[in-house]
Amino acid sequence: MEFKAVVIGGSAGSFQVLNKILSALPPQFSTPVIICCHRLKHIRSGFVEALAIKSKVEIIEPEDKDPIKRGKIYLAPANYHLSAELGLTFSLSVEEPVNNSRPAIDITLETCANVYKEKLVGILLTGANKDGAKGMKKIKERGGLTIVQDPLECTIDTMPKAAMAITQIDHIMKVEQIIHFLINLDKKAGL
Amino acid sequence: MSEIGISDLRTITSLVKENFKMDLGIYVNSYLIRRFRTLTEGKYGTTAGLIAALKQKSISGKEITNLFKLSCTDIFRDPSFWRILKKLLEETAERTRLRIWVADDYSGQELIALLISLKESGLLSKAEVLATARDENILDHIKTGKIPLKSMEQSCSNYRKWKESESADLYQYFKCDESHAVIVPELFSEVKFSVADISGGDIPSGTFDLILFRNVMLNYHLTYQCDLIPVLHRKLRFSGLLATGAKENISRSEIASKFSLINSEEKIYKKIKE
C-alpha cells in the first residue's frame, strides 16, 4: 500500500515526542506530514521555529487555501482549525472550538480521512483529552491505517486510550517504532 | 448515521438553492459539512432526515442561515492586530473623517472590537461605520450586541493583552443578564447596518478608509475569494486599508499588485493603485 499522507495529532504535551519524530525524518522524506497539536491560542509564533531547529524537512504553518505538497511538514496554526480539502489544499477556520480546542485534532484527522481515504496514515500521540479519537475512528472507517503511541510510554495516555476505546487501532507503537515505520513507509512510496 | 458525504452535500446544497435561492456553492466542503452536521446530529437525527426535510420543505430558511452565525465570539482576536490598527486609524483620522466598512460579518466580534477601539481613541463620533452581513437573520443577530457569557473569558483576556494592562476591564462596555453580555447602546448608536451580498453587486455606496474583512474569506472557495478582492478594491479610497486574517492571502488575486502589504504579520494591505 502506498500512502499519500501522514496526519499526526497530539496535545501540547506532545511537543517533545513530535520533535523527536520530526528530527529523525531524513531530508528526502517526501510524504506530506500534517500535524495538529494543541497549543496556546495567543502565541502565534515560536512553535514551528522550535520544531524546525532539528527537523531536516521544511516545516510550515499553512495559510488558507495553500496546496498540500510533497516534501513538506505542515503544522496547524494557533487559534485556527486546519482542514484538508478535495483538490489537496488546506482550509482554515475560526469556527467554534471542538473538544475545547482550536485547532481541534478531530477536525484535521476527519478532513484528511475524507480526502486521502485508504491512502492515509493517522497517528495519535500523548494527550490529556479525547480530541482525536473520533478522527482516528473516521480514518479507520475510510480504510486508512491507524497508529497510537503506546499508552505505557505516554506522559498522559487519555488521548490514545480514547481512540482505542472507540476504534480497533491497527498499531500501538513506541516513538522509536513510529519513526522506523514512517521512514520505511516513505521509502516504499519512493520506489 | 449522521455522516455527510460529498454526494449528500451536493444534494443538500442543491435543495437549499431550490428552496431558498441560497447559493452555498461559495463555501468550502469541510466548512459546510461541519455547519450542516449541527442539524444532522441534532434536530434531524441523520443526513437522510435532513435531506427528507428539505425535500418536504419542512425546514425554514432561517434554520439554514442560523447555521452560519458564529456563536463563539472572540472579541479582540489577535490583540497585536488591534494595537496596530488603532495607530493606523489615529493617523488616518488626522487627515480625513473615517469611513469604515465591517464587511460580511458573521458574529459581530470584529464590529464590537472596532467600536471599542474607536471609542478609546476618541474617534467614535468622528467615524462613519457600516456593518453588513449577507443575510437579514445574521444581521439581526449582530445588531443585538449579545455575547454569550461563556465567550467573554477569552475576549476579556484578549482585551487585557490589547491594552497591555492586567486591570483593563472589557465589561465596562457591557451589561450582563444571566446568559449574555450585551453591548451598551452608546457604542452601536452611530453604526449603520445593512444586508449586503458583496459578490452580487449589492454593495454600499461610496468608498472607505478601512474595510475590515478578517477571517471571512476562510470559509469560501479560492475562486470566490478571488472574485471578492476586486470588489473590495473598488470600495477602498486610494491609500485605504484592507484588513484580512493573519492566515489569509490575497496574492492569488489578479489584482494583488494593486495592494501593498504594509503589515505581513497581521495581513494589512494598502490600496496603492486604482
B148-182 pLDDT, tens per residue?
Answer: 898 899 999 999 999 999 999 999 999 999 999 99
The reply to whether A64 belongs to the active site is no
Cell of B128: 462613519
Instruction: Determine how many CB atoms are found less than 10 A away from the CB of residue A25.
Output: 19
Give the number of other Cβ atoms within 10 Å of residue A96's Cβ. Answer: 16
pLDDT for the residue numbered A153: 96
- The amino acid that residue B100 corresponds to is I
Whether A131 is catalytic: yes
Instruction: Spot the catalytic one: A14, A81, A83, A131.
Output: A131
Reply yes or no: is the peptide bond before residue A103 cis, omega within 30 of 0.
yes
Contacts of B28 in chain A (CB under 8 A): 83, 85, 91
Cell 473598488 -> residue: B234
For position A124, what pLDDT does the model report?
98
Q: What is the pLDDT of residue B197?
A: 85
pLDDT at A190: 66
Residue A167 is classified by DSSP as S
DSSP-based three-state secondary structure for B127? strand
Contact status of B248 with chain A (Cβ, < 8 Å):
yes
**Interface contact A93-B31, CB threshold 8 A:** yes
Instruction: Say what the pLDDT of residue B151 is.
Output: 86
- Weakly modelled stretches of chain B, pLDDT under 50: 1
The C-alpha of B34 sits at a distance from chain A's nearest C-alpha, in angstroms, of 9
**B249:A64 CB<8 A:** yes
The per-residue pLDDT for B71 is 64
Using the predicted structure, report yes or no on whether residue A76 has a pLDDT greater than 70: yes
Q: Do B218 and A114 touch (CB under 8 A)?
A: no
CA distance A78 to chain B (A): 10
Query: pLDDT (tens digit, 9 = 90+) per residue, A107-139?
Result: 999 999 999 999 999 999 999 999 999 999 999
Examine the predicted complex and report whether its ipTM is higher than 0.90: yes
DSSP states along A42-100: T--SSHHHHHHTT-SSEEE-PPTT-B--TTEEEEPPTTSEEEEETTTEEEEE----BTT
- B28 vs A95: CB contact, 8 Å cut-off? no
pLDDT computed for residue B203 by the predictor: 80
Q: Determine the average pLDDT of the residues in A28-41.
A: 95
